Amino acid sequence: MTPPTFPPPRRRRRRGAASAAVLALTLAASLAACSSEDTPSADTATAGGPVTLEFWTWSLKGSDPEAKAIVDKYHQEHPNVTVKLSEVGGTADTSSKLLAADKAGDTPDVVQVEYRGLPALVVSGAVKEITADVASVKGNVDPNIWALTTFNDQVYGVPQDIGPMMLTYRKDLFDKYGVKVPTTWAEYAEAAEKIREKNPDAYIASFAAREFEFFAAQAAQAGAQWWSNDGKAWKVGIDSEASLKTADYWEDLVKRDLVKVEPLLTPEWNAKVNKGEILSWAAAAWAPSVLYSVAPDTAGKWESAPLPQWTPGDPAVPFMGGSTYLVPAKSKHPKEAAAFAAWLGASDEGSKLLLSLDLFPGGNAGRQATLSHEPPQLMPQQKDFYTITDQVIKNTTIPVTWGPNVNVAQTAFGDALNKAALDRTSFREVYKATQQAVVADLEKAGYTVAK
């Protein structure tokens, strides 16, 4: 059940991020059917017997020869283990189906979700703790990446890919309009103004209110922590002053019509990107492949730069997007599943293979391999793309903790922010209302919330 997009992307989307949830039309009746015929534990294998691992992923598509090569490679090295790929949608769809499968007691063995979705699954008891199983590969992944799947010192997943934040922009049009690549958000606002002056039809970017993770990253960059915990109680900082200042910034840009209030990756957005009326996208290193999928004819006109900053000279950013492999609590073959996840996400061989899927691998070997890799198809001329990206990853030092109820915050926030943007009302109020909703939901569920 692939979330369809229009037009069908030519390349697989690197982005795990908001992709499925946001760009997918709810078409194809998300309500409909869970995964197809399950191989219901076809092999309750006795140790040593053949094992089939069911793997829910959108990054490895069964129809993709490169994905098939990875699965075959693993089977070759571990003749007892066959990996069966199935795609059940993005993070939101995958999560809800995993919870349903968990209740039914018949789960897959390895599941890909975005980091953002992991805590909610962990507190639902649907995820197996695999600290000991994957301890041997911990050294192959940088601590700031490994931390994305560790809660209270317990490991719940192996990182697949990461989203170092970058600004991807139309180099040709920035040059044409005499706009410098912004290094701070203040410069970004100036650049936005200049672009509006030079071409009244063009905007520096669209203001996509439903890109929850982007606004969380903005706040994190400014020093706010939307969710945090001390092991006992949760603290919610969506209405902290640092966070509210980022709200003010975007409210100002929207009020001055410097950004176009418009969701991402709609036919409308795609058309504007192709026409050169949307000039940049502040997201992560996966953005070029998404852009390439909707505007292949603009290849060669783009470049990526480090994300603008609130404080000049400060290089720190958080990750945005990217996903992890988890092992469901009710997997019939948890050992084999964890071993496979560790191999694909964190072994030298596995993480290099992930690069063949156009992903930005979280493992060190894969990251090292990017340095000698051709730049993305969107910017074949930008030879230093991966050098810049690698530096950005080193600068990715802002840890982001996701709470157990991100899903509750996400849609409410996006819808309210859209409304505020269209009605030109206060963004601060949206952040405050989201704060209240998140706290109320946590308290209702029974968590302790620190003031």
Partner 1 sequence: MPATSAPSSGRRTRVRAVATPWLFATPAIVLFTLFLIIPIGYAIYLSFRGFRIEGGGAFGRRVQTFVGLDNYLSALTDPGYVAGLGRVLLYGVIAIPSVLGLALLFALLLDTPRVRARGFARTAIFLPYAVPGVIASLLWGFLYLPSTSPITYLAERLGAGPLDFFGFPALYFSLANIALWSGVGFNMIIIFTSLRAIPASIYEAARIDGASELQIAWRIKIPLVAPALVLTGLFSVIGTLQLYSEPATLRPMSNTISATWVPLMKIYQEAFMNDNLGGAAAASVVLALGILVISLLLLRFFQRRTFGDNA
**Least Å distance between CB 442 and partner 1?**
9
Record the tokens describing residue 134, joined without a space. 């994957």
- Cβ neighbours, 10 Å, residue 68: 14
Tokens of 414: 């996006």
Give the nearer residue to partner 1 in terms of CB position, either 60 or 92.
92
CA atoms within 13 A on the CB side of 163: 32
DSSP string for 180-234: PPPSBHHHHHHHHHHHHHH-TT-BS-EE-TT-HHHHHHHHHHTT--SEEE-SS-E
Sign of the Cα pseudo-torsion (357, 359, 364, 368, in order): positive
- Chain residues binding partner 1 by CB under 8 A are 6, 22-31, 92-93, 95-96, 99, 119-120, 122-125, 151-152, 209, 229-234, 261-263, 266-268, 271-272, 275, 404-405, 407-408, 411-412, 414-415, 418-419, 421-422, 445-448
Nearer to partner 1, 316 or 422 (CB): 422
Tell me phi and psi for residue 104, to 5 degrees. -80, -10
The least CB distance from residue 20 to partner 1, in Å, is 11
- Specify the residue, 27 or 371, whose C-beta has the smaller distance to partner 1: 27
CB 335 to partner 1: min, Å = 23
For the bound state, the minimum distance from the C-beta of residue 99 to partner 1, rounded and expressed in Å, comes to 6
| Contact criterion met (CB below 8 Å) for 282 and 253 | no
Cβ closest to partner 1, residue 426 vs residue 448: 448
Closest to 243 (Cα-Cα) out of 256, 259, 225: 225
In the complex with partner 1, which residue's Cβ is closer, 136 or 411?
Answer: 411
Report in angstroms how near the CB of residue 24 gets to partner 1 at its nearest: 7
Given the complex with partner 1, which of 238 and 365 has the nearer CB atom? Answer: 238
Shortest Å, Cβ 369 to partner 1:
34
Pairing of β 449-450 and β 234-236: parallel
Least distance (Å) between residue 439 CB and partner 1: 14
Of 45 and 433, nearer to partner 1 (C-beta) is: 433
| CB of 213 vs partner 1, minimal distance in Å | 15
Structure tokens at 154: 């317990």
Measured from the CB atom, the residue of 388 and 420 that comes closer to partner 1 is 420
Given the DSSP bridges, would you call strands 51-56 and 110-114 parallel, antiparallel or unpaired?
A: parallel
In the complex, the smallest distance separating the C-beta of residue 58 from partner 1, rounded to whole angstroms, is 17
**Phi-psi domain of 348 (left: phi exceeds 0; alpha: psi -120 through 50; beta: other):** alpha
Give Cβ neighbours of residue 132 (< 8 Å, ≥ 6 apart). none
Beta bridge partners of 161: 361
Question: Please, what's the largest Cα pairwise distance for the chain?
Answer: 70
Nearer to partner 1 among residue 52 and residue 410 (C-beta) = 410
Taking the C-alpha atoms of residue 324 and residue 112, their distance in angstroms, rounded to an integer, is: 6
The alpha carbon dihedral of 392, 398, 401, 406 has a sign of negative
* Torsion over CA: 178, 180, 186, 192 (sign): positive
The owner of tokens 């890109």 is 211
Counting DSSP H helices and E strands in the chain, the numbers are 16, 15
Residue type, 319: F
Least Å from the CB of residue 332 to partner 1: 21
In the complex with partner 1, which residue's Cβ is closer, 228 or 364? Answer: 228
